[in-house]
Amino acid sequence: MSKQSPELQQLIQRYLEGKCTAEEKVQLQHWIASLKVSDKSATTEDLLQLRNRIDRITQPNEVRVKRIQWPTKYVAAAALLCIGVASFFVLRHDLGNKHPAVTQLLASKFSDDVNRLRVYHNHGTDNRSVMLSDGTNVTLTPQSSIHFLDNFEVDNRQVTLCGKARFDVAKDASRPFSVITGNIHTTALGTVFWVTRLREESLPIVELLSGKVAITKNSSLGNRELLVALNPGDSWDSKGLHLAPNILPTPKASRKKETAQEVEVIMLAFHHTPLKEVFDTLSAHFQTQFSYTESDLEGMTFYGNYTDKVVLDDIIKHIMLTHEIQINYQEDTATYAVSLSSNFQTNDQI
């Protein structure tokens, strides 16, 4: 390991003592992810010896009360960090002999007893799925990686991404889920979205599939500054917000235009039409039935123009106003019964 700066030494010391803030842990995670270790840098025997050494240093038994001196702590921290990276290659060798199908996705974890950093890297050519401890499913594209605290924090869930991944986030209102790409955080409670960051200096590309997410960045005051909130179908990148394709306005405008035109279009037109033909036309148009005696309707005609907005009852009322007839709906036969009014029958008899 190369010589460490005083700031990094202090950060490692704070991490060992459990005093790191969330931001400091992320900073340390970035440093770990930047390490490159060759395939021959650690054997299985070396790894076991390092683990035993770390256990003796970082997890002393109850009777041991002597404090670890600063130089020893630095060695422990360096070994601890190297173990995580070296584990990639040990696992790849071991798993390759037993399960060749899963060697493409490598995982590393610092300790099984405490909440330590876990790293996944997809070395294959196909997408790989990872189920996190909170139930979130992550789809890693080839040559992409994520790292995070195995059990997350008490009040948040943070995953650092390098590459491109889809996140199907498990809902947890008490712990927002954030994908960290540089100083950009994409945060959601429960949703599905893609995040892409292919270069260190580039801003991520965020594509929201469902739910809602908020994209924030570190401000000069040290707090989080909201950049944008996305709705389903929206995306965001270095060029800004791209709204979901809005296919609704055009059909709506078209329907409004058609409606305005249809108000002027006459759908039913009767010009001194025999009343028998009027009832036959209404039966076909409104899918109903009229019963009448043809002799009662002889000599009766009807005049009226109607659009498709008119209802049958309005036409019936109009007919009864212009002719001395009664039209009643018979529920048992679902038929409109047409009959002469009593006044018309009396006058006819006289």
User: Which residues lie below 8 Å from residue 332, measured CB to CB, with a gap of 6+?
Assistant: none
Amino acid in the structure at residue 115: N
Whole-model pTM: value is 0.43
Amino acid in the structure at residue 9: Q
- CATH number listed for the domain at residues 104-245: 2.60.120.1440
Q: Could you give the C-alpha distances from 306 to 32, 263, 314, 323, in angstroms and in order?
A: 78, 10, 10, 18
Rounded to a whole number, what is the distance in angstroms from the first to the last CA of the chain?
123
Q: Could you give the C-alpha distances from 166 to 85, 163, 180, 245, 342, in angstroms and in order?
A: 24, 11, 13, 21, 78
pLDDT interval class at 120 (50, 70, 90): very high
Q: Is 252 in a helix, a strand, or coil?
A: helix
Question: What are the structural domain ranges in the chain?
Answer: 1-101, 104-245, 254-349
Q: What is the pLDDT of residues 216-238, one digit of tens each?
A: 888 777 777 888 888 888 899 88
Residues 295-309 have a mean pLDDT of 83
Q: What is the pLDDT of residues 64-101, one digit of tens each?
A: 444 444 455 555 666 566 555 555 454 454 444 444 44
In sign, the C-alpha dihedral spanning 297, 298, 299, 302 is positive
Q: What is the pLDDT of residues 177-208, one digit of tens each?
A: 999 998 899 998 678 889 988 776 678 999 99
Alpha-carbon gap, residue 254 to 12, rounded angstroms: 64
Q: Flag whether pLDDT at 17 surpasses 90.
A: no
Alpha-carbon gap, residue 249 to 255, rounded angstroms: 10
pLDDT at residue 126, rounded to an integer: 93
- CATH number listed for the domain at residues 254-349: 3.55.50.30
User: Which residues lie below 8 Å from residue 234, measured CB to CB, with a gap of 6+?
Assistant: 208, 241, 242, 243, 244
Question: Residue 87 is inside which H or E element, if any?
Answer: helix 70-98
Helix, strand and coil content of the chain, in percent to the nearest 5, comes to: 35, 30, 35
CB neighbours of residue 152 within 10 Å? 19
Residues 111-130 have a mean pLDDT of 81
Q: Check if 104-245 and 254-349 are the same fold.
A: no
Q: What is the 3-state secondary structure (H, E, C) of 5-22?
A: CHHHHHHHHHHHCCCCCH
**Least confident residue range of 106-115, 158-167, 337-346:** 106-115
Q: Which residue has the higher pLDDT, 316 or 246?
A: 316
Q: Which two tokens stand for residue 308?
A: 């498709």
